[in-house]
A and B are shown apart, each in its own frame.
Chain A
Amino acid sequence: MLEFEIVEEGQGKLIQPPDIEAFREWNRQKPKALVDKLMTEQEAISRFVHDGDYLATELYGTVRCPMSLTREIIRQGKKDLRIAGQGVLELDLLLAAGLVKQVEITYIGLEVYGVSSALRRAVESGQVEVVSDWSNGAIAWRFKAAAMGVPFIPVRSMLGSDTLKSSAAKVVKCPFTGQKVALLPALIVDVALIHVHRADRYGNAQIEGISGFAFELARAAKRLIISAEEIVPTEEIRRYPDRTIIPYFLVDAVVHAPFGSHPGEMCYCYARDEDIIREWAESSQTEEGAKAFLEKYVYSVRNHQEYLEKIGWERLEKLREKAEKRR
């Protein structure tokens, strides 16, 4: 028999070691009854996000992203958060608001607008600790392992790189073939936020377009908050159950959030609001600019409804028209 030999170990800390037995126990006690979970952003965040939580968001900050929930976290000042860093705008805002303590990073940047100034300030000053680096595939696979209910998953990414050395992965020789593979520890997060196209009051949720890593993250979280563009009757869900990517028992809270991804986009619903995304890219270059942006778009409004009114319905309607034209 071939040995299960550890060839190399990443030096990154594992800040959320997977406990798959505890996860099973946790999931067992989650209610299986169809109970109404519809609530406001304020209630969902205050009940299900705690200081020090390990938090993950999906998809990316400019695409189907739970921005109304993110802004509410900032308003409530949930602090010392640990995050899996696969993000654009949402993680940038949390970093700029000073609410993040540790990050397991894959990519935090502004895509077309370049590097994230908020990340640079936070990391280069030592305010935020980068505990490990991973690839995008690796973080998604870590959620997948958690979703499978197993403690790790073998993959062929990251081998031979400093990304692996800075992660908490281990390289082993496969006991069946002798092939070297990277083992990634499952990542079970305390709380996940996912924005969807539609959900019912119980949390049965459906997504259109690419699914990113919603399937995996929803199953890798102890608590899950769903925000949805549209709340539909359960009969609607039952008509096309094949479209349900997240069944209700995974979900703790359902928030009705039209334009919940704004200034990001929501495919088939509305386009991204380029001016505001650019405004963040520019103003976040300085700490004062970032604070001013947060004041303008987050702290100065009490809730998502007020945010939308501030943005203006006419402007939002144009984003809808733009998406409609592109179909």
Chain B
Amino acid sequence: MAARNYNLTELMICVASRLMPDSTTVFIGTGIPMLAAALAQKLHAPNLIPIFEFGGIGATLEELPLAVGEYNTFRKALAASGICDIMETATRGFIEYGFLGGAQIDPYGNLNSTVIGDYRRPKVRLPGSGGANDVGSLCWRTIIIMRHDRRRFVEKVDFITTPGYLWGPGAREAVGLPKGSGPYRVVTNLALLGFDEETKRMKLLATHPGITVQDVIENTGFELIIPDKVEQTEPPTEEELRVLREEIDPRGLYISKG
């Protein structure tokens, strides 16, 4: 049954979680991806294999990890190795999905989490790549989770921390990135987006309940591909919300942020 009272963070988590099929490997970073993976494991994907950069493989996500190396990233896991092994596992093609965030994204899914402004004289110095560049370079399909507004969805990012499709079709292969890899979905508080097969530019797939195509266009700082048929996202179910609120984030660390 569809729920009525939910906030947009909860909706993003539910949408992201539904993108995680059972018995697949997913590279998980801090924040919403952790909640989405935990939700997927508890509902439709009990054998989802979360992989964390500092060594956790196949953890049972009963409690929310607060850091990418903390105990919950390898609690009741199948293996606990180290960062080189994890990144090399991704290099060898074992990791299907990688989840990422960022401060800016462009039409090709290139992500910035390094600086706002000039690199040498930054207006804002952000944390830097962390594992993001490795995830976006080496996993088969990356799924990006971000807030949707014109400051974040920009024609040109200030700095490409993590490569998307760079400048278009064939670009990833041309620079030496693994063949057949790249951005797959973008989950925002307004919509679910994908990438056009031919041009590799971002394309609207579905709008969230109560959001119009026009809302999405107005909040995007570049030209989006709008297909003839735009789907509507299924709202969170009562069950999804209950698990999320009661079992995964009972203290409201993330979901209370709205």
Give the most central of B114, B172, B176: most A CB within 10 Å. B176
Number of interface residues of B (CB under 8 A): 54
Q: Which of A235-262 contact B (CB under 8 A)?
A: none
A111 touches B68 (CB 8 A): yes
Of the candidates A59, A130, A141, A160, the one whose C-beta lies within 8 Å of that of B69 is: A59
B127 touches A108 (CB 8 A): yes
- B159 contacts the other chain (CB 8 A): yes
A159 touches B176 (CB 8 A): yes
Closest Cβ–Cβ distance, residue B34 to chain A (whole Å)? 9
How would residues 300 to 327 of chain A score, 1 for a CB under 8 Å from any chain B CB and 0 otherwise? 0000000000000000000000010010
A171 touches B162 (CB 8 A): no
Of the candidates B70, B119, B133, the one whose C-beta lies within 8 Å of that of A265 is: B70
| Residues of the B chain whose Cβ atoms lie less than 8 Å from the Cβ of A119 | 125, 127
A115 touches B71 (CB 8 A): no
How would residues 207 to 239 of chain A score, 1 for a CB under 8 Å from any chain B CB and 0 otherwise? 001111111100000000000000000000000
Complex CA distance for A137 and B122, rounded to whole angstroms = 24
Q: A179-B176, A211-B55 are in contact. Are A109 and B127 (CB under 8 A)?
A: yes
How would residues 57 to 68 of chain A score, 1 for a CB under 8 Å from any chain B CB and 0 otherwise? 001101110000
A212 touches B138 (CB 8 A): no
Q: Which of B114-161 contact A (CB under 8 A)?
A: 114, 119, 122-134, 137-138, 159-161
A161 touches B163 (CB 8 A): yes
B132 touches A326 (CB 8 A): no
B53 touches A163 (CB 8 A): no
- B66 contacts the other chain (CB 8 A): yes
A105 touches B176 (CB 8 A): no
Complex CA distance for A59 and B56, rounded to whole angstroms = 14
| Residues of the A chain whose Cβ atoms lie less than 8 Å from the Cβ of B175 | 159-160, 171, 180
A272 touches B66 (CB 8 A): yes
Closest Cβ–Cβ distance, residue A193 to chain B (whole Å)? 16
Closest Cβ–Cβ distance, residue B162 to chain A (whole Å)? 6
Q: A181-B176, A211-B82, A326-B75 are in contact. Are A120 and B69 (CB under 8 A)?
A: no
Of the candidates B31, B74, B137, the one whose C-beta lies within 8 Å of that of A157 is: B137
- B230 contacts the other chain (CB 8 A): no
A160 touches B134 (CB 8 A): no
Q: A115-B126, A323-B71 are in contact. Are A135 and B66 (CB under 8 A)?
A: no
Complex CA distance for A141 and B82, rounded to whole angstroms = 11
B176 touches A106 (CB 8 A): no
A62 touches B70 (CB 8 A): yes
Complex CA distance for A209 and B73, rounded to whole angstroms = 10
Chain B residue, CB-CB nearest to A105: B128
- B206 contacts the other chain (CB 8 A): no
A133 touches B128 (CB 8 A): yes
Q: A109-B130, A120-B125 are in contact. Are A156 and B68 (CB under 8 A)?
A: no
A171 touches B30 (CB 8 A): no
Closest Cβ–Cβ distance, residue A164 to chain B (whole Å)? 8
- A88 contacts the other chain (CB 8 A): yes
Of the candidates B56, B67, B160, the one whose C-beta lies within 8 Å of that of A162 is: B160
Given A86-B130, A136-B129, 8 other A-B contacts at CB below 8 A? A115-B127, A137-B87, A157-B134, A159-B163, A161-B163, A209-B74, A210-B69, A326-B71
Going nearest first, the 8 A-B pairs with the smallest beta carbon separation are A180-B176, A210-B55, A109-B127, A107-B130, A160-B175, A137-B87, A137-B134, A135-B133
Using CB atoms and an 8 Å cutoff, list the residues of chain B in contact with chain A: 30-31, 52-56, 63, 66-71, 73-75, 80-84, 87, 91, 114, 119, 122-134, 137-138, 159-163, 166, 171-172, 175-178, 253
Using CB atoms and an 8 Å cutoff, list the residues of chain A in contact with chain B: 59-60, 62-64, 85-86, 88, 105-109, 111-112, 115-116, 119-120, 123-124, 130, 133-138, 140-141, 144, 155-163, 166, 171, 179-182, 209-216, 265, 267-268, 271-272, 274, 323, 326
